[in-house]
Structure 1
Amino acid sequence: MSASTTPIIRQVRAFTVRGGGADYHDQAGGHWIDDHIATPMSKYPEYRQSRQTFGLNVLGTLVVEIEASDGSIGFAVTTGGDIGAWIVEKHLARFIEGQRVTDIEKMWDQMFNGSLFYGRKGIVLNAISGVDLALWDLLGKVRGEPVFHLLGGPVRDELQFYATGARPDLAKQMGFIGGKLPLRHAPAEGEEGLRKNLALLADMRERVGPDFWLMYDCWMSLDVNYATRLALGAQELGLKWIEEALPPDDYWGYAELRRNVPKGMLVTTGEHEATRWGFRMLLDMGCCDILQPDVGWCGGITELVKISALADAHNALVVPHGSSVYSYHFVVTRHNSPFAEFLMMAPKADEVVPMFNPLLLDEPVPVNGRLKVPDRPGFGVRLNPDCALSRPHTH
């Protein structure tokens, strides 16, 4: 494909949709993902039982579509809803339309620097990530290749997964290599809450035996003292790692926690971090052993490549936060991403269902905890036409 025949990007469109999708917290009642999970808001009793009470599901899913001059359409989904759609349509589109489909690095740089005065992290990076992922999907479709080919090709035949959900014991039966539990009780629930956290871990250890990985996802809810006590109490229960124990901006606290935990226990974080600069802080300050960027939030594939290279130079692993095919295509190409996360989106965490169900069609799922990434063009998934997309803004 020469420069003269390279398709040009004709139009960028942004849509929103409610319910299960990239905003996987937008679930109906009775789902494990919204059942008394420790959060930074757990200090307030009225917001303890359900994360939706303080608005975890307010954004909804953002769908970005990018159409090229040859008729090819790339798309991607992330969290962002109406706000993200406005940013894409009213601001980011100007950096995309009229460009060659191959000029992804330039487009990323212009989106990031053009929004620097109000962006840097959060919803703006979600929007940039969505556009970036759609650009990679589009390039794969134009070239007739899967994204993992564009990233250098696979370094292993298949991915192996750990499962995140309320039932690690069932995850073991399904063939996963480990199970990550949501922490239920935060510091405001006192000594009794700490005992309950350790008791749940002990119960799961008894169910899964000594060799199955068990981890705790603390979702930014703890302080250094509580996280240290939890880690020390969990040592004899074989806790593999303690995840996102502190608020994402507390780099100093993470460095202290990593010094405090028992030897051999890992500290992991990064789900709510963004860009190479944020992850440089985590690495330079010795905050964690495993980085967990979400490819739909950290800046997309273009930025994840840089984050991964930085981590590799620090001998740190990169295991992206669950983001379905968008991380699978990356993980299969990197030696320092030896396994992947799978979010158990069945309400009772008792069966394997597609993570972004019902929004994506052809979304692959692990079988016996393993998956060979399909070699269909782009990310290899389609939008479900039965999902009611809305385009709240145009340009």
Structure 2
Amino acid sequence: MWPTKKVFVRIESEDGLVGWSCTNGGEVVALIIQTHLSRLIQGTTVSDIADVWDQMFNSLLPYDRSGFAMMAVAGVDIALWDLHAKTKSVSLVTALGGGAGDLGVYCTATQPEAHRDNSWWGLKAAMPFGPDAGDQGLQANVDCMAAFRKAAGPDSRIMLDAFMAWDTDYTLRFAEAAVGHDLYWIEDPLPPHDLDGLRKLRAGLADNTRLALGNFSFTRWDCAELIREGLVDILQPDVAWAGGITECLRILDMARAADVPVILHNTCEQPWALAMAAARQSDPVVEFVDRGDASPLYGLMGAEPVFDNGRVLVPNNKAGNQPPAKIAHQFLGHSAKKD
């Protein structure tokens, strides 16, 4: 649905400290960062992250206020926070206020039997079929949830992610057919712009079937609309897509005020998201996506997460002892360095 290439952002201070981040969007996001955003941060003070965020966002209004534009802002913002923590010689968790040493985890998997008898907070399935597969596909989706229920056991949570591939009628039909499996939530069944469809779902779903939305909410204003209309039960923004740490801190504050729980999307592949959850949420739950032996991102963006009895340890490595500095230059990992 968008370029799946990762974009790595590198920001260097005048004294050689380096902040890193990673987001999606491939060449499109790389172009926005390299040709547009880079000039806005040249020479700024590392700690002025909120001001830089506002300037980046406002400068991108002619482009868009979502999607690739916000992935680009997120990439720069996360790298700035990484650099900010290093200038203070502290971990990102500490820079964000300090917090829990471990977090509860739910697992997104394709092979539920591999997670039988594990202590995950819950198990989530990616749905293999949509409306075009007809009744046979719908039944296969129900059977998939039955397999997840069997693996999770009767007392654990099971969830599903439809990745915006369903419509209102299909979602309601599925929910009725799968009612015996006690689904904890249905995630992103419709595209985020289909507010009428989400309203119909909210009215038609049983009270105990939650809607998890927000993977494709790219700003606090997107999230505010879901909260204001009472459409979302669990809000799930992705830090690397929704404007980075600065914007997601605002989203967390807004959701807390509305008493809407937040579970950050794809958390365990993003050490900055783990740090945010630990520092700014009370008893949070985070997502681990099982990609087989290991995700290739773990060795690039941080240490491989350590799981113990259904929980993940929060990375809390301290940076080297370096003084604060101003930004000297930034460049993308695959591009030529810009001085």
- Which residue pairs with 1:90 in the alignment? 35
The CA distance in 2 between the partners of 1:84 and 1:170, in whole Å, is: 36
Relative distance call for 1:337 and 1:135 in structure 2 (3 A) is: farther
- Match for 1:326 among 267, 272, 275? 272
The CA distance in 1 between the partners of 2:24 and 2:337, in whole Å, is: 16
- Match for 1:242 among 160, 163, 186? 186
1:177: how far off? Answer: 1.9
The CA distance in 2 between the partners of 1:357 and 1:235, in whole Å, is: 37
- Which residue pairs with 1:193 in the alignment? 137
Relative distance call for 1:197 and 1:392 in structure 2 (3 A) is: farther
- Which residue pairs with 2:330 in the alignment? none
CA contact (8 A) 1:215 1:240 kept: yes
The residue type paired with residue 181 of structure 1 is A
- Which residue pairs with 2:231 in the alignment? 287
Structure with greater helix percent? 2
Alignment of 1:123-142 (within 5 A): 123-142=68-87
The residue type paired with residue 314 of structure 2 is V
The CA distance in 2 between the partners of 1:336 and 1:314, in whole Å, is: 15
Structure 1 runs not aligned, ≥5 long: 1-54, 379-388
Question: Is 2:64 aligned against 1:119?
Answer: yes
1:202: how far off? Answer: 1.5
Instruction: For CA contacts below 8 A with separation 6 or more, give which structure has more relative contact order.
Output: 2
The CA distance in 2 between the partners of 1:291 and 1:242, in whole Å, is: 12
The CA distance in 2 between the partners of 1:139 and 1:310, in whole Å, is: 24
The CA distance in 2 between the partners of 1:306 and 1:252, in whole Å, is: 26
Per-residue Cα deviation, 1:205-235 (whole angstroms, up to 9, x for no partner): 2333201211110000111111112122222
Percent sequence identity is 35
- Which residue pairs with 1:26 in the alignment? none
CA contact (8 A) 2:109 2:290 kept: yes
Secondary structure (helix, strand or coil) at the match of 1:63 reads: strand
- Which residue pairs with 1:384 in the alignment? none
Secondary structure (helix, strand or coil) at the match of 1:345 reads: coil
- Match for 2:314 among 373, 388, 393? 373
Per-residue Cα deviation, 1:335-389 (whole angstroms, up to 9, x for no partner): 356200011111xxxx5x24624533523242332122121136xxxxxxxxxx5
- Provide the aligned C-alpha RMSD in A: 2.0
- Which residue pairs with 1:101 in the alignment? 46
The CA distance in 1 between the partners of 2:144 and 2:222, in whole Å, is: 33
Relative distance call for 1:172 and 1:307 in structure 2 (3 A) is: farther
- Which residue pairs with 1:359 in the alignment? 300
- Which residue pairs with 1:231 in the alignment? 175
1:78: how far off? Answer: 0.9
Per-residue Cα deviation, 1:13-59 (whole angstroms, up to 9, x for no partner): xxxxxxxxxxxxxxxxxxxxxxxxxxxxxxxxxxxxxxxxxx65x34
The CA distance in 1 between the partners of 2:302 and 2:230, in whole Å, is: 40
Relative distance call for 1:392 and 1:73 in structure 2 (3 A) is: closer
The CA distance in 2 between the partners of 1:148 and 1:172, in whole Å, is: 32
Relative distance call for 1:259 and 1:338 in structure 2 (3 A) is: farther
- Which residue pairs with 1:261 in the alignment? 205
- Which residue pairs with 1:40 in the alignment? none
- Which residue pairs with 1:271 in the alignment? 215
Question: Is 2:165 aligned against 1:221?
Answer: yes
Provide TM-score, normalisation by structure 1.
0.78
The CA distance in 1 between the partners of 2:311 and 2:151, in whole Å, is: 22
- Which residue pairs with 2:245 in the alignment? 301
The CA distance in 1 between the partners of 2:25 and 2:147, in whole Å, is: 37
The CA distance in 1 between the partners of 2:204 and 2:91, in whole Å, is: 43
Secondary structure (helix, strand or coil) at the match of 2:245 reads: helix
The residue type paired with residue 364 of structure 1 is P
Per-residue Cα deviation, 1:226-247 (whole angstroms, up to 9, x for no partner): 1112122222111110000000
Relative distance call for 1:203 and 1:59 in structure 2 (3 A) is: closer
The residue type paired with residue 176 of structure 2 is L
Provide TM-score, normalisation by structure 2.
0.90
Relative distance call for 1:392 and 1:165 in structure 2 (3 A) is: farther
